[in-house]
Chains A and B, each alone.
Chain A
Amino acid sequence: MEKRTEIRLAGEGGQGMILAGIILAEAAAIYDGKQATQTQSYGPEARGGASRSEVVISDVEIDHPEVLSADVVVALSQEAYQKFAKTVHSGGLLIVDEDHVAVRADFAGVKVPIARIAQEATGKPITANTVALGVLVGMTGMVSKEALEKAVIARAPKGTEEMNRKALAAGFAAAGGRKAAA
């Protein structure tokens, strides 16, 4: 069977998690030369509500395009955590924003103050999605850091490139020595 990596990025609508999924898929497909699919699920509302983005990365052609058993779940909100924490397989990686998610007693994932890091690094909480990508890739290496940076910059609105670079670097730094297989 193909070796596939499945990632689920979840938060509130408007937090940019769907865009984060697109950027991750672009890093893999355009800059790292892999196969990738990105799908999403959202409610009818433009903001608020639970929103999730799914990315599948593989070295070979991807068949079923959605996540079946997540290798990584990133949850930026309580609702996202409650809905998707259980979808990560044993041995997978669960990353939560510790300021916005109250975890259960048996929590075995990684807590990172993602929104707070974004605020401190750029003064803009809206860069939390870029920070989350930095943490995710810093910990797993599922795509190269260079590919991710190129993908983030290619998607950054004009004038926000430096801010996004800072947010990404802060994410990489927060990943620090923490490594996880994915």
Chain B
Amino acid sequence: MTIQLMQGNEAIAMGAIAAGCRFYAGYPITPSTEVAEVMSRVLPKVGGKFIQMEDEIASMAAIIGGRVGGLKSMTATSGPGFSLMQENIGYAAMAEIPCVVVNVQRLGPSTGQPTAASQGDVMQARWGTHGDHQIIVLCPISVAQSFDLTVKAFNLSEKYRTPVILLTDEIIGHMREPIELPDFDIVEKFERLVTDTPDNYKAYRNDRGDVPALAGFGLGYRYHITGLFHDEVGFPTQRLDEIDPWLERVSRKIETADDILLYQTDYEAGARTAILSYGASARTARHATKQMRAKGEKVSLFTTQTLWPFPEKAVEELADSVDKIVVPEMNLGQLALEVERVVGRKKVVRVNRANGDMITPNMVLEAAEA
């Protein structure tokens, strides 16, 4: 293995290849374009397909089709494109089609500031598509983690038959850092095998665990795919005794999973203050934490890679031991809303910046020491 200097976006593309992604459809947009560039170069060499689509609505539809056809699929975009993808992300959630959607966040709303960083899509990643649904959202804090979490995104997506959003930002996406890529052959890849014969296969059966296997189209397995509520074979239904079991199963499969919540705790005994962050801002949070400790001040650090579902039990435990949780994020307060829901507003101190510049360690220090 050799050390290379690589951008976060490039590491995402390499992670996708390592995870077994063989279909990419996208519409390039700053600051996510490097993902498409690398995929367009590398995918054909490993027997995959790259398509540049006419827009992001079509891109999202194409990767759903790619996975239904049997290939692990991904697209990458940024704010304006992510907005356009929302309808089909809901379709993928409803039809339970695994896929990975990368959103390299830039300043918004609207066209905003293409080359400026932001963490403004935290709530959109959770609730951007209409209707109650479950979704997994992962957020890397480094180039190395951009690779690792992309692999994880594919594996979770396959394991739970759900779209997974890799929510990174312009800082981590464009930043170059040293990384040692592993041998792709030994990277863990989740594959769910179809054990039913075509005769008794049901794409949406509720009676054999929470995640029925998805058979590739054209292989002799017959099922229907729709964005409507459907029965176990996939045909539209209005029967409550078919809607309720489906709804319960797709909620349960994500809510009760024990391998989706990824976070790091760095607790210090006796600390009454904690800093909780994610993505680029977590780098700043770690910087401020070390500065405080160097001055002899006690502080705990909580860095989360899984934004949704929110690791509420772990955050609850954190809150039990401290008086104050500082939440730095490059938006006007989004994940802070979730922290406040879990621990109450009194304990939460927000540190926000939404003008394209990074939060500085001093901004975090001032809030933590106040």
Contacts and interface: CB of A to CB of B under 8 A. Distances in A.
Interface string A91-130: 0000000000000000000000000000000000000000
A130 B231 CA distance: 65
B333 interface: no
B282 to A, nearest CB: 9
Interface string A26-51: 10011000011111111110000000
A16 to B, nearest CB: 15
B358 A36 contact: no
Contacts of B284: 63-64
B3 A29 contact: yes
Given A22-B176, A63-B283, A30 B115 contact: no
B52 interface: no
A79 interface: no
A147 B42 CA distance: 29
A38 B294 contact: no
Contact of B287 (A36, A42, A64): A64
Given A1-B290, A64-B283, A65-B283, A37 B360 contact: no
Interface string B1-26: 00111000000000000000000000
B65 interface: no
A42 B3 contact: no
A10 interface: no
What class of interface size applies to chain B in its complex with A?
20 to 34
Contacts of A35: 178
B291 interface: yes
Contacts of B283: 63-65
B5 A29 contact: yes
Interface of B: 3-5, 30, 114-115, 171, 174-178, 280, 283-284, 286-287, 290-291, 294, 358, 360-361
Given A1-B294, A39-B176, A41-B115, 14 more contacts: A1-B291, A2-B290, A22-B5, A29-B5, A30-B5, A36-B5, A37-B175, A37-B177, A39-B174, A63-B290, A65-B175, A65-B177, A66-B358, A68-B361
The 10 A-B residue pairs with the shortest CB-CB distance in the complex, in nearest-first order: A63-B287, A64-B287, A29-B178, A38-B176, A63-B286, A26-B5, A64-B284, A1-B294, A39-B175, A63-B283
7 contacts: A2-B290, A22-B176, A26-B5, A30-B3, A36-B177, A63-B287, A64-B361
